[in-house]
Amino acid sequence: MSDPWKECMDYCLEVTKEAGKMIRDALQRDISIMQKSSPVDLVTETDQKVEELIISSIRKKYPTHSFIGEESVAAGAASVLTENPTWIIDPIDGTTNFVHRFPFVCVSIGFTVNKEIEFGIVYSCIEEKMYTARRGKGAFCNGVPIKVSGQEDISKSLVLTETGFKKDPEHFRTMMANMESILTIPVHGIRSPGSAAVNMCLVACGAADAYYHMGIHCWDMAGGAAIVREAGGVIMDVSGGPFDLMSRRLITASSRAIADCIAKKIQPFPCGRDDAEN
């Protein structure tokens, strides 16, 4: 059977390596930090330059394809997923980590066709871990196959989540109550590595058993979603329904049992949709 998107994935890999090198080089210099939606929602010149590099390189080769990029959307571009082949790009997932030189910083790219994720690439570029997954063909880290832990017992699990940018009192209370509700199951622990895409890769390779988050974006999820799925993980909405790339929320886990248990334990809060904000 022909594999029409293989060439796109191979090309994406080369562009991602270049982007990762650009990020590593930038860490050697002073980092100029700007604010986006709030004093804790940060962006740097490097986020913008890396996104420019990725989009211009891919657009030159695939001029008819569509793009949803974090910094382009911040600058006013639409974030609507269509049937057209679409590259969903987070040039630096873990910008706060990047600013602090905390080592979980990645380039995340997901590629969709007919709104389905065909492949995902997440390059944790300080650790130099290149995670890749193509629909139906497995998930890999630096070319070595990876799979989820397979843990089914939530009381033996390590769970990832993030605190995010929105710190209004109601949101904050729900977020803390959710963490309390998970911690008191009990679980072995909760961790917040600071990058949604890296979190999904940590579940994909069995270093963590679950990750849940509300308030992130399609560019945080697209690359990692392909990887965790192909590694045998479950990915779903926080309501327990099917995963929706534009919904700004997800649960992913090593097993359905753990994902379902988290869905029952956490209280969703409204976070809007990526395709409703333009």
**Could you say which of 47, 51, 70, 71 is catalytic?**
70
**Could you say which of 220, 230, 244, 274 is catalytic?**
220
93 known ligand binder: yes
Active site residue 70: yes
Query: At a CB cut-off of 8 Å and minimum separation 6, what does 3 contact?
Result: none
Q: Applying CB under 6 A, what is the total number of residues that bind ligand LIP?
A: 13
Give least dist CB 155 to ligand LIP, A: 25
Closer residue to ligand LIP (CB): 20 or 94: 94
Overall size of the chain counted in residues: 278
Asked whether position 223 contacts ligand LIP by CB under 6 A, the answer is no
Return the structure tokens found at 251: 């649960």
Closer residue to ligand LIP (CB): 62 or 165: 165
Return the structure tokens found at 270: 């409204």
**Could you say which of 47, 90, 118, 209 is catalytic?**
90
Asked whether position 110 contacts ligand LIP by CB under 6 A, the answer is no
Give least dist CB 141 to ligand LIP, A: 19
Active site residue 153: no
275 close to 245: Cβ distance less than 8 angstroms: no
Active site residue 93: yes
Query: At a CB cut-off of 8 Å and minimum separation 6, what does 249 contact?
Result: 213, 214, 215, 216, 237, 238, 268, 271
Distance CA 43, CA 52 (A): 14
209 known ligand binder: no
Give least dist CB 114 to ligand LIP, A: 26
Where is 250: in which H helix or E strand?
Answer: strand 249-253
Asked whether position 20 contacts ligand LIP by CB under 6 A, the answer is no
Asked whether position 210 contacts ligand LIP by CB under 6 A, the answer is no
150 close to 215: Cβ distance less than 8 angstroms: no
Closer residue to ligand LIP (CB): 220 or 274: 220
- Letter string b/e over residues 61-87, b meaning 16 or more CB atoms within 10 A of that residue's CB: eeeeebbbbbbbbbeeeebebeeebbb
Stretch that binds ligand LIP, among 7-15, 78-86, 120-128, 192-200 (CB under 6 A): 192-200
Active site residue 220: yes
Selected binder of ligand LIP within 11, 102, 165, 172 (CB under 6 A): 165
Return the structure tokens found at 38: 């709030």
Binding mask 79-98 toward ligand LIP (x if CB under 6 A, else -) reads: -----------x--xxx---
159 close to 210: Cβ distance less than 8 angstroms: yes
Query: Secondary structure of the chain: what % helix, strand, coil (to 5)?
Result: 35, 25, 40
**Chain positions contacting ligand LIP, by CB under 6 A:** 70, 90, 93-95, 162, 164-165, 194-196, 216, 220
Where in the sequence numbering do the catalytic residues fall? 70, 90, 92-93, 95, 220
